[in-house]
Structure 1
Amino acid sequence: MTSLLPSTQRALLRRLAVEQSENRVPSLIAGLIRDGATIWVDTRGKVGGCPSTTDTQYRIGSITKTFVAVLVMRLRDEGRLDLVDKLDEYVPGTSVGKRSIGEILSHSSGLTAEPAGQWWERTPGGNAAELLSSIDEHALRPTPRHGFHYSNVGFGLLGELVSRLRGVAWREVLQREILAPLGMNRTTLGPVAPHAEGLAVHPWADVVLAEPTEDAGAMAPAGQLWSTIDDMARWIRFLSGDTGEVLHPDTVAEMRSPGSVNDGPEWRTGHGLGLQLLRHRGRRLAGHGGSMPGFLATVWADPAEATGVVFMANTTAGVSGAFATDLLDLLAEHEPRIPAAWEPRADVNLQFLELTGQWYWGTTPYVLRVLPNGLLDLSPWQGRGRASRFRANADGTWTGLDGYYEGEVLRVGRNTDGIPTHLDLNTFIFTRTPYSTDAPVPGGVAGWKPAG
């Protein structure tokens, strides 16, 4: 484990200790990840009479949903389904059949939060047929379109979708397609020693109650998994883009894009495709929280800073919502990330240099730069406006990867000598000088003249 300064470790430990002590958490373990390495782990409280370790399992609850979402996106990337496809095409017979797979992934389908019947998190779960038959007209909420409404039931349906398209139980697909390739050997459907016991703490006395740990059956895709700090550190790296070929990094970036938001004066939290999103002090975090009777857990990844945080606790309630982000804040305050030293790159395509430098959209100056990995960046010169990265295509065009021009095609216009004269970006013309007469500017260019 990478070492932090003693002062940083003390600040982090104190925050952990205050959380565990003041909120009376039986055991609490947390870790920080930076640049792919676990740089800090500490714990308070005990499991079986001893402090927990990075190999101690806790139930991670709804973090399970992020794994199910990855299984669905793998099917999408293979061409087995599309996110706009209706659920009825794959899992017919429910009242939500006309909603799309993408809506279910982003919790905007209008489907009820919880399944019919008893409190599902504390009782043995039924099979898929029982779950499907219970999703009738009463399972839809009044405002399904474009609105956020969290749904555990939706991920039960997505687990069944995976099972039907793969021909085996979703848990087998999970093991084969995610856990084994990523080496997450301590992430399991049920507890495997060493593991914590799920506990509830009495609100007015220092005594605890053992919580039930039932198999959720068809609802397991919504919150069944158990895991460890070590495995969750690997999952944070995955969410940041170190995907181990389980998914393309661009697909994970797509999952991190907002699909629905929790409305308010300004949106701070929302959902992508199976991922919770959080904006915090300039950071854009992606991950998920998890709660099941006796357990709480959270993972956040900050891809821009190559940083992440995870905590696990064996308590039904008590860990504050700010705990995980407080740890990130302390790390940034005490040991801000030091950028890697700049060095010239050997992988720059020198043919792209002719495209670099100043371009103008009308009278607005832009700058085009060459990025690593064969990408181009087109950004406003003063940093305000539409910015996008582009990847080269075999035919000499470029496709936008993000921002306003995501998915749009950029074409390079050249004169008879082959020198670039303009960029045609989905009808917008960028020129080397403002409204250059050497480029086909729509509406024509009459020439500059003094005002008046």
Structure 2
Amino acid sequence: MTTFQEELLPATRRALLHRIAVAQSEGRAPSLVAAVVRGGRTVWHGSRSCVDGHAPDDDVQYRIGSITKTFTAVLVLRLRDEGLLDLGDPLEKHLPGTGAGEATIAELLAHTGGLAAESPAPWWERTPGSTRPELSDVLGEQPLLHPVGRRHHYSNPGYTLLGALVERLRGRPWEEVLRDEVLEPLGLSRTGGRPEAPHAGGWAVHPWADAMLPEPAEDLGLMAAAGQLWSTTADLARFAVFLARGDERVLSAESVREMRTPAAPGEAADVADGAAYGLGVQIQLRQGRLLAGHSGSLPGFLASLFFSESDDVAAVVLANCTSGPALSLVVADLIAIVAEAEPRIPEPWRPMAEVDPAVMELVGQWYWGTYGYGLRAAADGLLVLEPLSGKGRRSRFRANGDGTWTGLEGYYAGELLTAVRRPDGGVSHLDLGSFVFTRQPYEEGAPVPGGVDPEGWRGIK
């Protein structure tokens, strides 16, 4: 099997170092640390610091802010996969009396539950969690600002509710459940709710002077599920691999794919910028490349983790400043540097292990009306429907074991593909969600859109 070489090329490594050096210098970050993952393993680590000889390594903890939300979402998806809840359940079914119970669990995960962005004053990021001892203190007297399910509006209190949901159904504290069910199985030993040496201190950098001010690190209390965690580039690199591939000890590949499937568009400006939100995962279109992951910030810290599934490349960047470098752009650039300088080498083409005559009977050219399509049987067992002109609806289909196939993406996601047979057993046509595909355009005798004019095809006299 052809694989990536063990290390990146020297020119690629220098380009990565140059990018983070520019980010640290121009963003005036006290320190900045980054990692790149390719092929499921960390292939590069780099850091820059304002203190000579003290650049952080991949074991130094930084606070990761809202990347915590992705960890919380993993716990909720685990509850779903165990059958303890359905994502369509209203919160009230499992966590009654919050005042926001009409929002479904999926809506809370996707920030479409209608809740406020922040908890009532004083600002939760700069005050002890003990200031908000009850969920009512987090939600306030009017938790809902928008109609439930109608609008994407990022909500930190929404993830507090999801953390409380995990605690209710597990009967244990959120952080304890996270450690046992996610951190330990994935080997994330340097991720947790409290900083453990070595860790970076958080700083504010004066906007008009090269001077710094230390930032306090508050314990967020009930808001922990929205932003409490500390982690390292080494741990987050492993977490990125999990988000891309899944791990049966935590979540299946199918469930993590569901997390990174858009569930809600962003606000109008975000949509124009190519941003959407899944279930605890941000989705962005950067430089023509689809990235999934999450960003984070808390006083004194910035964090960003994103990956490109198509390139099999991920990047993590952490900095210890309240504002400064735009880390999501830095992450996107690190991914692009590797993907463009050292493109992913495709796996060798291989034929099917076995050829099914019933499948071979379906492949080839088909017509939906006058639109030409090709149906191809792939070695992975899927059927692939593609427009012959390059324009039109494309989808892969998974066999259901009963002669039917289910669409996996695009317009035909979830739709049923059935081969309709004639009395003699031969295939008459394909039925795809009521669309009829025939071997010839407007084939005579076929269902709609079969030959509807008795005079047939003609020219202009």
TM-score bucket of the superposed structures, by smaller chain: over 0.9
TM superposition shift of 1:224: 0.8
Q: Which residue of the partner structure matches residue 7 of structure 2?
A: 3
Alignment partner of 1:192 out of 196, 219, 240: 196
2-side partners of 1:347 and 1:317: how far apart? 57
**Which amino acid is 2:128 matched to?**
P
Q: Which moved more, 1:122-131 or 1:302-311?
A: 122-131
Native 8 Å contact 2:265 2:275 kept in 1: no
2-side partners of 1:56 and 1:427: how far apart? 57
TM superposition shift of 1:120: 1.3
Native 8 Å contact 1:107 1:148 kept in 2: yes
**Which amino acid is 1:440 matched to?**
P
Q: Which residue of the partner structure matches residue 120 of structure 2?
A: 116
* 3-state secondary structure, aligned to 2:290: strand
Q: Which residue of the partner structure matches residue 450 of structure 1?
A: 458
| Alignment deviations for residues 324-366 of structure 1 (CA, whole Å, 9 cap, x no partner) | 2122232234323332333335366565222222111111111
Alignment partner of 1:81 out of 82, 85, 88: 85
Q: Which residue of the partner structure matches residue 346 of structure 2?
A: 339
TM superposition shift of 1:19: 1.1
2-side partners of 1:211 and 1:396: how far apart? 62
* 3-state secondary structure, aligned to 1:230: helix
| 5+ long unaligned stretches in structure 1 | none
Question: Is structure 2 residue 301 aligned with structure 1 residue 295?
Answer: yes
TM superposition shift of 1:299: 0.5
User: Are the structure 2 counterparts of residues 96 and 347 from structure 1 closer, same or farther at C-alpha, using a change threshold of 3 Å?
Assistant: farther
Residues 265-344 of structure 1: pairs in structure 2 closer than 5 A: 266-320=272-326, 321-344=328-351
TM superposition shift of 1:192: 1.8
User: Are the structure 2 counterparts of residues 92 and 132 from structure 1 closer, same or farther at C-alpha, using a change threshold of 3 Å?
Assistant: farther
User: Are the structure 2 counterparts of residues 33 and 237 from structure 1 closer, same or farther at C-alpha, using a change threshold of 3 Å?
Assistant: same
Q: Which moved more, 1:128-137 or 1:396-405?
A: 128-137
TM superposition shift of 1:83: 2.0
**Which amino acid is 1:262 matched to?**
E
User: Are the structure 2 counterparts of residues 416 and 314 from structure 1 closer, same or farther at C-alpha, using a change threshold of 3 Å?
Assistant: same
Aligned-residue CA RMSD (Å): 2.3
Q: Which residue of the partner structure matches residue 378 of structure 1?
A: 385
Q: Which moved more, 1:172-181 or 1:214-223?
A: 172-181
User: Are the structure 2 counterparts of residues 27 and 425 from structure 1 closer, same or farther at C-alpha, using a change threshold of 3 Å?
Assistant: same
Q: Which residue of the partner structure matches residue 31 of structure 2?
A: 27
User: Are the structure 2 counterparts of residues 294 and 243 from structure 1 closer, same or farther at C-alpha, using a change threshold of 3 Å?
Assistant: same
- TM-score normalised by length of structure 2: 0.91
Q: Which moved more, 1:55-64 or 1:336-345?
A: 336-345
| Alignment deviations for residues 134-166 of structure 1 (CA, whole Å, 9 cap, x no partner) | 524433224654222111110000000111112
Alignment partner of 1:169 out of 170, 173, 179: 173
Residues 30-69 of structure 1: pairs in structure 2 closer than 5 A: 30-45=34-49, 50-69=54-73
Alignment partner of 2:437 out of 430, 435, 452: 430
**Which amino acid is 2:67 matched to?**
I
Residues 98-109 of structure 1: pairs in structure 2 closer than 5 A: 98-109=102-113
| Alignment deviations for residues 363-414 of structure 1 (CA, whole Å, 9 cap, x no partner) | 1111112234322111212222111211111222111111111111111122
Q: Which residue of the partner structure matches residue 397 of structure 2?
A: 390
Native 8 Å contact 1:156 1:219 kept in 2: yes
Q: What is the aligned length?
A: 452
Native 8 Å contact 1:415 1:421 kept in 2: yes
TM superposition shift of 1:84: 2.1
- TM-score normalised by length of structure 1: 0.93
Q: Which residue of the partner structure matches residue 203 of structure 1?
A: 207
Native 8 Å contact 2:114 2:149 kept in 1: yes
Alignment partner of 2:227 out of 210, 215, 223: 223
1-side partners of 2:161 and 2:379: how far apart? 40
* 3-state secondary structure, aligned to 2:272: coil
| Alignment deviations for residues 37-90 of structure 1 (CA, whole Å, 9 cap, x no partner) | 222211111689622111221111100100111111222222222222211112
Identical-residue share of aligned pairs (%): 52
2-side partners of 1:15 and 1:440: how far apart? 60
2-side partners of 1:181 and 1:134: how far apart? 31
**Which amino acid is 1:449 matched to?**
W
Q: Which residue of the partner structure matches residue 235 of structure 1?
A: 239
* 3-state secondary structure, aligned to 2:268: coil
User: Are the structure 2 counterparts of residues 201 and 266 from structure 1 closer, same or farther at C-alpha, using a change threshold of 3 Å?
Assistant: closer
2-side partners of 1:134 and 1:295: how far apart? 23
Q: Which moved more, 1:299-308 or 1:379-388?
A: 379-388
User: Are the structure 2 counterparts of residues 249 and 348 from structure 1 closer, same or farther at C-alpha, using a change threshold of 3 Å?
Assistant: farther
